[in-house]
Amino acid sequence: MAVNDSRLLLITGGTLILPEGVVEGGSVVCEEGRIAEVLRRPPSQKLMRESRVLDARGGFLAPGYVDLHVHGGGGADFMDATDEAVRTATAAHILEGTTTLFPTTTTATPDEISGMLAACRRVRNAWQPSHGSRIAGVHIYGPYFAPGKTGCHAADVARSPDPLEYKAWFADDLVRIATCAAELPAAQAFYRSAQRSGCLVTCGHSNADWAEMQKAFEAGMRHVDHFWCAMSSVVSLRARFGTPMRASMEQFVLANPEMSTEVLADGHHLSGELLDFAYRMKGPTRLCLVTDASRAMGMPAGRYRFGSTRSGSWFESDGNVGRANGSLASSVVGMAHMVRQMHRLSSATLPDVVRMASLTPAERAGIDHDVGSLEAGKLADVLVLSKRLAVKRVVIGGEVFAARRGPAHSS
């Protein structure tokens, strides 16, 4: 970057990735932490002289990624419930292009969840661009999971919704996404409370049938976590209800245009044909990419805790994916990897893939007025990507993020 004390940051020399398509030779002008202008042409010499210049060197300019579902990274889990752990995870994810994220709970005791919320609140309130990804809110994911659908989460602390517990979570604006299995007792009351608090209301780790999903929908549920993972199917419902066979979460989501969902595009959870099927059925405005990343993201292969270091369940990472008891256990890669794999394995266009990692999750979480696309007035969160979609530079809040452990890179 050229040495210049101007308040303007000019990111130029690349191809813009916009929701509606790509624009070669475009530039992004940032001022006071926000995007001042998006140029669809080369910048003037006057603007070049008046700005600090970040040269994309023929790569892509994309909006910072937004992750709705993420447990940790860099050796830390948000459930460790310390400021250091939260900052370690956010610093790991910004290197993968995620500029905004929602720390996500696991099944845990009330005290462990309260501790996690407190740590995330402190870090969010003291955030600076040098810290890493911005915390837009917390995703209450565990503990309200159905029996037999807890996956790698600790089953002994999974439970049904308790209003004395969850109303405290919704007392301020920290919790912005709220998950509950639709068939649990009092699930509908939980959904209504979460909706009144302005949350994206989701169903996950559930063996619900169509009728239970319909009741959840009427109570405000509009999203399903990690499609095809820890969710009901026609076969699982036959085991639960017998015959006649019943429609599952899959059919409900695909048949309802208001429902959105998310996929893990790490190449290990879902095959290319499933990723492409989800894209073709839901489209880029109702399908999100998430990482569901654990503390093993960016770490060597080995044995790790999922959730708190004190009580979380154990899983094994081979460096590509996590596994526990012969089943998949979260991902161990960042959003940049998900974007590359979704682009490689599906028929989605590059603008659609980037949208599913940025604008669509921002819209679903209600933060698209600030993040999710390269647009004047939004926060200056911009990625410089290589032609192979590796993260070369990350700009967050108008500041070029400088990683302590080296330049921005991609898994």
Higher pLDDT, 272 or 326: 272
The per-residue pLDDT for 404 is: 54
Beta-carbon-side half-sphere exposure of residue 285 (alpha carbons within 13 Å): 4
* 200, β-bridge pairs: 177
Q: Give yes or no for a contact between 10 and 343, defined as CB atoms under 8 angstroms apart.
A: no
pLDDT higher than threshold 80 for residue 409: no
pLDDT tens track for 46-78: 999 999 999 999 999 999 999 999 999 999 999
pLDDT higher than threshold 90 for residue 405: no
pLDDT higher than threshold 60 for residue 287: yes
pLDDT higher than threshold 80 for residue 410: no
- Domain 64-365 classified CATH 3.20.20.140? yes
**Cα separation, 59 vs 172, whole angstroms:** 41
pLDDT higher than threshold 80 for residue 408: no
CA distances from 382 to 50, 52, 247, 354 (A): 20, 15, 42, 12
pLDDT higher than threshold 90 for residue 15: yes
Strands 302-306 and 65-70: unpaired
Instruction: Sketch the domain layout of the chain as residue ranges.
Output: 8-62+374-400, 64-365
Mean pLDDT lowest for which of 10-19, 144-153, 358-367?
A: 144-153
The per-residue pLDDT for 356 is: 98
Q: Give yes or no for a contact between 96 and 334, defined as CB atoms under 8 angstroms apart.
A: yes
Q: Is 276 helix (H, G, I), strand (E, B) or coil?
A: helix
Residues in the chain: 411
pLDDT tens track for 216-268: 999 999 999 999 999 999 999 999 999 999 999 999 999 999 999 999 999 99
Strands (E), 142-231: 175-179, 200-203, 223-224
Other C-beta atoms within 10 Å of 366: how many? 15
pLDDT higher than threshold 90 for residue 406: no
pTM score:
0.96
**Cα separation, 32 vs 71, whole angstroms:** 31
pLDDT higher than threshold 90 for residue 302: yes
Percent of the chain with pLDDT over 70: 97
Q: Is the peptide bond before 19 cis (omega within 30 degrees of 0)?
A: no
Q: Give yes or no for a contact between 142 and 116, defined as CB atoms under 8 angstroms apart.
A: no
Percent of the chain with pLDDT over 90: 93
Q: Which residues contact 152 (CB under 8 A, 6 or more apart)?
A: 306, 313, 315, 322, 324, 325, 327, 328, 329, 330
**Cα separation, 98 vs 372, whole angstroms:** 11
pLDDT tens track for 119-150: 999 999 999 999 999 999 999 999 999 999 99
pLDDT tens track for 146-204: 999 999 998 999 999 999 999 999 999 999 999 999 999 999 999 999 999 999 999 99
Q: Is the peptide bond before 163 cis (omega within 30 degrees of 0)?
A: no
Arithmetic mean of pLDDT, 34-40: 97
The per-residue pLDDT for 403 is: 66
Name the residue among 267, 266, 264, 261 with its Cα closest to residue 287. 261
Arithmetic mean of pLDDT, 93-108: 98
Q: Which residues contact 302 (CB under 8 A, 6 or more apart)?
A: 296, 316, 317
pLDDT higher than threshold 90 for residue 3: no
Q: What is the mean pLDDT of the chain?
A: 95
The per-residue pLDDT for 303 is: 96
CATH number of 8-62+374-400: 2.30.40.10
The per-residue pLDDT for 273 is: 98
Q: Give yes or no for a contact between 20 and 26, defined as CB atoms under 8 angstroms apart.
A: no
As given in the structure block, the two tokens for residue 81 are: 């419930």
**Cα separation, 285 vs 352, whole angstroms:** 9
